[in-house]
Amino acid sequence: MQPIRLLVKATACFALFAGLISATAQDSPGRTEMKRADLSGAPGMEVVSSIVEFKPGDEVARHTHHGVESGYILQGAKVQYPGKEAITLEAGAPILNLRDVVHGGYKVVGDKSLKLFTVHVVDKGKPLYEYVK
């Protein structure tokens, strides 16, 4: 009986782990979620705060959100859009991306990581990121 219970527990743990992997498949790899809560007075909406780090060489894919993204650049870095000169995103600069507006599409260049604090007010139950080709 003992080996069967162990197998059942192992199978349950694997299923939970696999579910977590698939739930985050649409996520940004450098994102650490800090807090998630329902938005008061707005059924079906939630607020998600995160710290995101993009290291030199990382590409920030073009994407949208099912709601508004606001934030702050904690650590600035140089970024480069395809076919353009590199620009510096300065620490302290605000971030604001409206619902369904495509943004991103750049690569972090230079020797410093880009670190962001973000707050998303988004539709509950939908992926935080929708990647765009």
Who has greater pLDDT, 104 or 2?
104
Q: What is the pTM of this model?
A: 0.78
What pLDDT score does 26 carry? 59
CATH class of 28-131: mainly beta
Average pLDDT estimate for 9-13:
38
Task: State pLDDT tens for residues 113-122.
Answer: 999 999 999 9
CA distance linking residue 127 with residue 35, whole number of Å:
16
Considering the chain, what percentage of its residues have pLDDT values greater than 90? 76
Residues 6+ apart with CB under 8 A from 16: none
Average pLDDT estimate for 44-71:
97
What pLDDT score does 17 carry? 35
Average pLDDT estimate for 63-73:
97
What are the φ/ψ torsions at residue 3 (nearest 5 degrees)? -60, -35
Per-residue pLDDT for 27 more than 80?
no
Domain regions of the chain by residue span: 28-131
Per-residue pLDDT for 34 more than 90?
yes
